[in-house]
């Protein structure tokens, strides 16, 4: 689900030479897809929404960790973009992250090269702009049922 969108246009984390100015489209697509899952499930079984969203977020965390582990080399701008994308996802999904999802996102973050103080400032500026521009979509996540038990999620099988 994520990989196809992440590499659209043959994106290469190691060859990116322009500084990031926004969260990449694949992150916005992930968030939009989660709102679609919510809309579909709430009509059928409203009591399952929180657990299901928690499980979807676990899958996103696992996939992000796997994809980042596959990157062979990082350019400075590619590193910054990956940090921005992960921070955007985790900040928006914070109320729906189980311990397992948190571990996956943390594992992904730890695989990335560290940012300089200047890059940390750029990251925060880009994230603030993202929150302003995407406030309508991000508001949907405030309305979602919070994950009640961050320790475990329930199997959907």
What are the residue ranges of helices labelled H in 70-116?
76-92, 99-111
Instruction: Name the domain count of the chain.
Output: 1
For residue 35, being part of any structural domain is answered with yes
Q: Mean pLDDT, the chain, as a whole number? A: 88
pLDDT at 23 over 90: yes
Task: Estimate the crossing angle of helix 49-69 against helix 76-92, to 10 degrees.
Answer: 170
The predicted-structure confidence for 71-106, as pLDDT tens digits, reads as follows 999 999 999 999 999 999 999 999 889 999 999 999
For the record, the structure tokens of 83 come out as 């940090």
pLDDT of residue 145: 55
For residue 101, being part of any structural domain is answered with yes
> What pTM value is reported for the model?
0.86
Residue pointed to by tokens 């695989």 = 111
Residues in the chain, total: 157
For residue 82, being part of any structural domain is answered with yes
Task: Read off the pLDDT of each residue in 120-134 and give the average, rounded to a whole number.
Answer: 97
For residue 148, being part of any structural domain is answered with no
Within the chain, what is the greatest distance between any pair of CA atoms?
Answer: 48
pLDDT at 13 over 80: yes
Q: Look up the domain containing 134 and give its range.
A: 2-7+16-143
SS3 content of the chain, % helix, strand, coil (to 5): 70, 0, 30
For residue 151, being part of any structural domain is answered with no
For residue 34, being part of any structural domain is answered with yes
For residue 155, being part of any structural domain is answered with no
Residue pointed to by tokens 């709430």 = 42
């Amino acid at each position: 689900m994520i990989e196809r969108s992440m590499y659209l246009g043959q994106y290469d984390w190691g060859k990116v030479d322009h500084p990031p100015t926004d969260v990449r489209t694949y992150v916005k697509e992930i968030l939009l897809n989660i709102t679609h899952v919510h809309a579909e499930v709430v009509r059928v079984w409203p009591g399952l929404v929180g657990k299901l969203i928690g499980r979807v977020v676990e899958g996103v965390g696992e996939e992000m960790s796997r994809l980042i582990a596959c990157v062979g080399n990082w350019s400075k701008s590619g590193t910054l973009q990956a940090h921005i994308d992960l921070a955007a996802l985790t900040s928006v999904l914070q109320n729906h992250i189980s311990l397992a999802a948190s571990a996956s996102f943390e594992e992904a973050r730890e695989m990335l090269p560290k940012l300089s103080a200047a890059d940390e400032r750029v990251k925060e500026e880009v994230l603030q702009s993202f929150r302003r521009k995407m406030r309508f979509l991000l508001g949907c996540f405030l309305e979602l049922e919070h994950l009640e038990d961050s320790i475990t999620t329930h199997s959907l099988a």
